[in-house]
Amino acid sequence: MTPTDVSYPRRIVCLTEEPTEILYRLGEGDRVVGVSGYTVRPLEARSKPRVSAFTTAKYDKICALEPDLVIGFSDLQADIAAELIKRGIPVMIFNQRTVAEILQTILMIGGLAGCTPKAEALVAEFSSGLAAVEQAALQNKCRPRVFFEEWMDPLISGISWVEELIEVAGGEPIFPELRQKRLAKDRVVDPEAVVRRNPHVIIASWCGRRMNAATIVNRAGWHSVSAVRHNRIFEIKSAYILQPGPASLTEGLAQLSQIISATALQVVNQDDD
């Protein structure tokens, strides 16, 4: 190899689903040689070797794949990144927490893969989709109060990009002051505070567990909450909304929009304040 024989990374291991889906959306899925064991999107990526969980990785298996780049997400993967770096593998860890940061991550991954124009086009596509949903939400007769439940014990409210997407879809998060808290432990809320703020709709997404509506309905004092009284309790699977990548900006947003628009109509018709 001469100094001029330079190319962009051709063998990429993705430690989480977000970079995997981004690369496939960019038409660069053939570069992905290893994926997270939790990968469900896109379907074709599930046939790739599975080399990691969220906080653990099979280091020897990753090294055997001879990657020229490993991409991960979150400070929780810092130890994995450190070990791979010690083994001489280039690593890029993203830590996106907002819609803007998700879009920026797409641009940066596009740059790493040498396909910036395609990344810019994909960001434009997602931005247009966000604008279209936001415009459609203006037709709703009201903006329902929304409690997004990221976990049930302790009770954790939604992370920043989720709360932003709720607003895009026409809702009003009931804990806006917590949206910038990047750590889950900083978004723990008192169940009585939820009762006081009286959400019109509750949307649950318990990562790794199915939502149990009875658990929500039977909480002490929650019988008076509008969402409980009117049976407006919904689930969005974590794979669609709690991964800060294309899934949240497409399927996750679509489900939020459907739930919030239906709730807005019910609130107006039932004169529910």
pLDDT at residue 267 tops 80: yes
- Residue 218 CA to residue 184 CA, distance in Å, equals 24
pLDDT for position 94:
97
Q: Global pTM?
A: 0.94
pLDDT for position 64:
98
Closest CA to 12 of 25, 31, 30: 31
Ordered by where they begin, the domains of the chain are 12-128 (3.40.50.1980), 141-270 (3.40.50.1980)
pLDDT at residue 214 tops 90: yes
Q: What integer is the mean pLDDT of 43-51?
A: 96
Q: 250-262: per-residue pLDDT in tens?
A: 999 999 999 999 9
pLDDT for position 271:
65
What percentage of the chain has pLDDT greater than the value 90? 90
pLDDT at residue 91 tops 90: yes
What percentage of the chain has pLDDT greater than the value 70? 97
Q: 62-86: per-residue pLDDT in tens?
A: 999 999 999 999 999 999 999 999 9
Q: For residue 74, what are the contacts with CB-CB under 8 A and spacing of at least 6?
A: 16, 54, 93, 95
